[in-house]
Structure 1
Amino acid sequence: MRVAPALAAFLALLPPAWGRIKYLGVAIPGLDFGCEIYGSCPPGERIFPLTEMGGSDGEGQMQHWVGNADMNTFRLPVPWQYLVNDQLGAKMDETNFNNYNKLMKACLDTGSYCMIDIHNFARWNGGIVGQGGPDDEDFVDIWAQLAKKYANNDKVMFGIMNEPHDLDIVRWAQTCQKVVTGIRKAGAESQIILLPGTNFASAETFVSSGSARLLAKISNPDGSKDGLILDLHKYLDINNSGTHVECTTDNVAGFKTIGDWLRKNKRQAIISETGASLDPTCIEKFCTQNEYIAKNTDVFIGFVGWGAGSFGFRYVMSLTPSGESGNFKDNELMTECIIKPFVEEAPKPTHTEEQTSTETASETKTSDSNGRTDSNESTDSTVSTESTGPSATTSTTKKILKETSSGLNEGSLETSAANEESDDEDDNVDDDDSAARPNFESPAMGATFAIIMPFLIGM
C-alpha cells in the first residue's frame, strides 16, 4: 500500500480536532434560587454563594478547582430582578450590584473567566422579552449597564439569557442583536457574548429550531462576528429537565448534529450548562457525553458543569465538593466525568499556550481616558446580607415547571422558525470545508503521526 492512501484512510477515522478545551469550569448558583421558568424570581429562596454574605463557600470552591483541576471558567447566575431591585427599567440597585460584584471579584481574583448569567428564561414575571413582556430597550439597558461596569476586563463573559423557551425565535434573534449592539457600544468591545437559542437552549434542537441559523446572523456593530459564541445546554434525563435521577441518553447524537453544523458554518459554541446525578446510569452516560465533547474542541470551546455554589449534597445534580476550603474533595461525577476527560486525558497545552495563558491571567488594567476602571477593584458600598432559607435547595419550581413545559417530547418548535428554516436553510453555509480539516499543528496530532508514520512508510 502506498503512503498517501494509507494516510488518507487513517485520517478519515480521526476526530476533526482534539485539543484541550479552552474554557472549563462549574456554575456557582445561589442568587438564582427561586427563579421559575416563567421569569419570576422571588427573593425568599436565595442563598448567596459567599460565606461573607452568610451563604456557601463559592469562593473556596472556585479556588479549589483552579488550583486542583486546572479549571478557568465559572458561571455566576443572577436574577434580573435582583440587579434592579424589582424595578423594571430602573438603573441597577447600587447595593445589590455591589453584592453581586463581590462574587464577580472572588471569581476574577482566581484569574478565571467569569460568566454573567441573567437567569430569567427570556422573561420578567411571565412576560417574554420583546414579545408582549418587557421592551427590548429595557433588556438592552440592563446589559449596557453591566457592560459599562466590566468593559475593561476581558475575563468577563456576557451570557445574554438563561434558557429561553416557548417564544418566537425569529423575534428573539432580533432582541439578541440589539443586546449585542448595546454591549459593544457600552465599551465591552472584545469580550465573549453567549447567544442562547429557544427550547431551553437545547443542543439537540439548536439546529432544527432555527436557533443556530438565526443567531449566527448576529454581528457586532463593525459587521464582524468576533466573540459571538453560541450558548448550548443539555441534560441527560428523559425530558431534558435535569430533575430525574436516571439518565436515559448520552446526548452524543445531539451534540454531533450541532457540532457538524458549527464546523460547516465555521462557528463555535460553549456548553454553559449540563449536569447529571450520581446514579450509575449517569456516570456512564455523562462520561460518554463529555468524552465526545472533549474530542471535538474545535467547535465546542467551553464546558461548564451544573452545579455547585449553594447547592447541598442532596441536590440531584450537585457538584459541590465535600469538606472545607483548602481541603475540598470532589465527588465521582466530577472526577470521572469532568476532570478525567477534559483535564487528565486531554492533550497537554504547548509551552506557547501555557505562556499565553499565564500572561493573560496576570494582566491588570487601569482606568482609561473615559474613566472606566478595572472591575477587579473592590467596591466601597455597604454590604447587605440576603435573607436565606435553612438549606441549600434550588428552585424545584424552576425544574418542575420546566419538566411540565418540556413534556416527554423535547422537540416542540416555533412555527415561524420552522417556516423560515425551510425557506433559506443554507443561507449561512460556506462550502469551504477547511474548518473540518484535522488540526495538524495540535500536540495530539503530532504525537499520533510520530507513532504511525513508520508503519505507513513501510506499507
Structure 2
Amino acid sequence: MTLRQLAAASLLALCTQAATAAGPLPWRGISLSSAEWGEKLPFPGIYGKDFVYPSVDSTAYYQAEGMNVMRIAFRWERLQPTLMGEFDAAELARLRAFVDGTSARGLHVLLDPHNYAAYQDQHIGKPEVPIAAFSDFWRRLALQFKDNPKVQFGLVNEPRNMPTEVWAEAAQAAVDAIRATGATNLITLPGNGYTGAWSWFETGWYGTPNAEVMGRVRDPLDHMVFEVHQYLDKDGSGTNAECVSATIGVERLRRFTAWLKANKRRAILGEVGGGANPVCEQAVRGALKHLEDNADVWDGWLWWAGGPTWGDYFLSLEPGADGKDKPQMRWLAPFLKRP
C-alpha cells in the first residue's frame, strides 16, 4: 500500500469513526403527561375524569419509531396522601401497572413526580414540607422499583420558587435515601428555576445560579445525570408555537454543554419541543445535532409531550384520529434508532 493509499484509508477510518460517534444517543424518548393532571382540583380527584395514566399499549407507537424511554408524570400527593405516610394502594397500582407493563416491552421508564419541588403548593424546605419528607418519599419509591433495572428515577419536575441551596440539599438527601435502599438505578437531577439549560448561569430571578450550586450534589455510585429542559420560543416557556430562530436550540444549549465538560458531568435534555413550522424544525434539529456532536457529555433527550388527553395541543406527538404522524415526528426520525 502506497503512502497515499494509506493516508486515504486512514481518512476513511476516521470518517467512519466520526459517523459512528455521531449516531443516536443512548436515551431517546418522550414525556407522557396525563396522570399528573387535575392539580387545581381538590386532591386526589376522580380517576378517569380528572387524570388518567397512559396505556401500556400506547407506548408501542413510540417504540416502533425508535424511542426507548418513556417519562411518566404523576403527582406526589396522589401517591403519598400524607407526608411520611404509606403510599395510596390504588395510585401505586396504577403507576406500577404502567411501569411494569412498559418495561416488559423492553422500554425504560423515567419516573417523574411532576411537582415543581412542592407538595400541595408548599415547597420543600419549608416547615410544612421538610427535606426529610422528600427523602422519605424517595426512599419508599426506590424500594418499590429498585429491582427493575429499566426504571430511572427523576427526582422531581422543574424545581422553582425556592433557594437553589435548599434544592441542592433536598436533592442530595433524596439521592442518599435512594442509594441507602440498595437501588442502583439511574438518577436524573434537575436544577432550580425550571431547570432551564439557558438559565443555568443566570443570577437574580431564581436565586444563586445552578452553575454555582448544583455541582455539589453527588451520587456515591456515579450513576446520576443532570436533567435540563429547553424550549425555543421567546421566553423559553414552551407556550408559544413560534421559535426565536433556526439556531436558537444550539445557542441556548452551548454554554451548559461547556459547563458539563468543565465539570466532568453528564446530562439529558428532559424536555424539548417546538411548534410545527419550518423555523422550529431547524431549531429542534440543530439542538439534537448539538447533543449528538457532544455525546461525551450528553446521554439523550425526551420530547414534550405525549399522552392520551392532549387533543390538538401543538406540542403533542400523539398520532391523530386518522393515525397519521404529527409533523414533528418526521423531524426526530434522523435522531432515532429504529428497532
| Bin for the TM-score computed over the shorter chain | 0.7 to 0.9
What is the CA-CA distance between 1:213 and the residue it aligns to?
A: 4.4
- Structure 2 equivalent of residue 279 of structure 1: 277
What is the CA-CA distance between 1:276 and the residue it aligns to?
A: 1.7
CA contact under 8 A between 1:20 and 1:297: conserved in structure 2?
no
Q: Against the structure 1 CA distance between its residues 40 and 245, is the aligned structure 2 distance closer, same or farther, given a 3 Å change threshold?
A: farther
- Structure 1 equivalent of residue 205 of structure 2: none
CA contact under 8 A between 2:275 and 2:315: conserved in structure 1?
yes
Q: Report the AA paired with residue 169 of structure 1.
A: T
CA contact under 8 A between 1:294 and 1:342: conserved in structure 2?
no
- Structure 2 equivalent of residue 29 of structure 1: 33
Q: Against the structure 1 CA distance between its residues 214 and 101, is the aligned structure 2 distance closer, same or farther, given a 3 Å change threshold?
A: same
Residue 153 of structure 1, aligned match among 117, 137, 148: 148
- Structure 2 equivalent of residue 179 of structure 1: 174
What is the CA-CA distance between 1:126 and the residue it aligns to?
A: 2.2
Q: Against the structure 1 CA distance between its residues 251 and 160, is the aligned structure 2 distance closer, same or farther, given a 3 Å change threshold?
A: same
The answer to whether the aligner puts 1:305 opposite 2:307 as a matched pair is no
Residue 50 of structure 2, aligned match among 46, 55, 61: 46
Q: TM-score, normalised by structure 1?
A: 0.64
CA contact under 8 A between 2:66 and 2:336: conserved in structure 1?
no
CA contact under 8 A between 1:27 and 1:304: conserved in structure 2?
yes
The answer to whether the aligner puts 1:319 opposite 2:299 as a matched pair is no
Number of aligned residue pairs? 319
Residue 66 of structure 2, aligned match among 54, 70, 77: 70
CA contact under 8 A between 1:277 and 1:318: conserved in structure 2?
no
CA distance in structure 2 between the aligned counterparts of 1:194 and 1:341, rounded to whole angstroms: 21
Q: TM-score, normalised by structure 2?
A: 0.85
Q: Against the structure 1 CA distance between its residues 40 and 21, is the aligned structure 2 distance closer, same or farther, given a 3 Å change threshold?
A: farther
> What SS class does the counterpart of residue 158 from structure 1 fall into?
strand
CA contact under 8 A between 1:275 and 1:305: conserved in structure 2?
yes
What is the CA-CA distance between 1:192 and the residue it aligns to?
A: 0.8
> What SS class does the counterpart of residue 238 from structure 1 fall into?
coil
Q: Report the AA paired with residue 31 of structure 2.
A: A
What is the CA-CA distance between 1:40 and the residue it aligns to?
A: 8.9
Unaligned runs of 5+ in 1: 51-57, 345-353, 355-459
Residues 224-267 of structure 1: per-residue CA shift (max 9 Å, x gap): 35111101101111112211121114221221111111122221
Q: Report the AA paired with residue 64 of structure 1.
A: Y
CA distance in structure 1 between the aligned counterparts of 2:94 and 2:253, rounded to whole angstroms: 36
CA distance in structure 1 between the aligned counterparts of 2:53 and 2:293, rounded to whole angstroms: 32
Residue 334 of structure 1, aligned match among 315, 329, 334: 329
Structure of higher RCO (CA pairs closer than 8 Å, 6+ residues apart): 1
CA distance in structure 2 between the aligned counterparts of 1:73 and 1:108, rounded to whole angstroms: 9
What is the CA-CA distance between 1:72 and the residue it aligns to?
A: 0.9
Q: Report the AA paired with residue 107 of structure 2.
A: S
Deviates more, 1:289-298 or 1:230-239: 289-298
Aligned ranges 1:29-428 → 2 under 5 Å: 29-35=33-39, 43=45, 46-50=50-54, 58-66=55-63, 68-85=64-81, 87-188=82-183, 190-208=184-202, 210-220=209-219, 224-249=220-245, 250-323=248-321, 328-336=323-331, 338-343=332-337
Q: Report the AA paired with residue 246 of structure 1.
A: E
CA contact under 8 A between 1:116 and 1:156: conserved in structure 2?
yes
> What SS class does the counterpart of residue 234 from structure 1 fall into?
strand
Residues 324-352 of structure 1: per-residue CA shift (max 9 Å, x gap): 8xxx542110121x2223448xxxxxxxx
Residues 159-183 of structure 1: per-residue CA shift (max 9 Å, x gap): 0010011321112101110000001
> What SS class does the counterpart of residue 227 from structure 2 fall into?
strand
CA distance in structure 1 between the aligned counterparts of 2:311 and 2:290, rounded to whole angstroms: 27
CA distance in structure 2 between the aligned counterparts of 1:247 and 1:263, rounded to whole angstroms: 27
CA distance in structure 2 between the aligned counterparts of 1:131 and 1:254, rounded to whole angstroms: 32
What is the CA-CA distance between 1:323 and the residue it aligns to?
A: 4.8
What is the CA-CA distance between 1:300 and the residue it aligns to?
A: 1.3
Residues 276-330 of structure 1: per-residue CA shift (max 9 Å, x gap): 2213332232222222223222211011111111243411211112358xxx542
Point out the structure with the larger strand share. Answer: 2
Q: Report the AA paired with residue 122 of structure 2.
A: G
CA RMSD between the two structures: 2.8
CA contact under 8 A between 1:79 and 1:120: conserved in structure 2?
yes
CA contact under 8 A between 2:36 and 2:74: conserved in structure 1?
yes
CA distance in structure 2 between the aligned counterparts of 1:20 and 1:283, rounded to whole angstroms: 18
What is the CA-CA distance between 1:212 and the residue it aligns to?
A: 3.9
> What SS class does the counterpart of residue 302 from structure 2 fall into?
strand
Residues 56-96 of structure 1: per-residue CA shift (max 9 Å, x gap): xx423311222x222210100010111023x2332101111
CA distance in structure 2 between the aligned counterparts of 1:198 and 1:148, rounded to whole angstroms: 26
What is the CA-CA distance between 1:41 and the residue it aligns to?
A: 6.6
CA distance in structure 2 between the aligned counterparts of 1:300 and 1:155, rounded to whole angstroms: 19
What is the CA-CA distance between 1:127 and the residue it aligns to?
A: 1.5
CA distance in structure 2 between the aligned counterparts of 1:40 and 1:138, rounded to whole angstroms: 21
- Structure 2 equivalent of residue 448 of structure 1: none
State the identity %: 26
Q: Report the AA paired with residue 302 of structure 2.
A: V
Deviates more, 1:193-202 or 1:258-267: 258-267
> What SS class does the counterpart of residue 59 from structure 1 fall into?
coil
> What SS class does the counterpart of residue 188 from structure 2 fall into?
strand
CA contact under 8 A between 2:44 and 2:78: conserved in structure 1?
no
CA distance in structure 1 between the aligned counterparts of 2:78 and 2:308, rounded to whole angstroms: 17
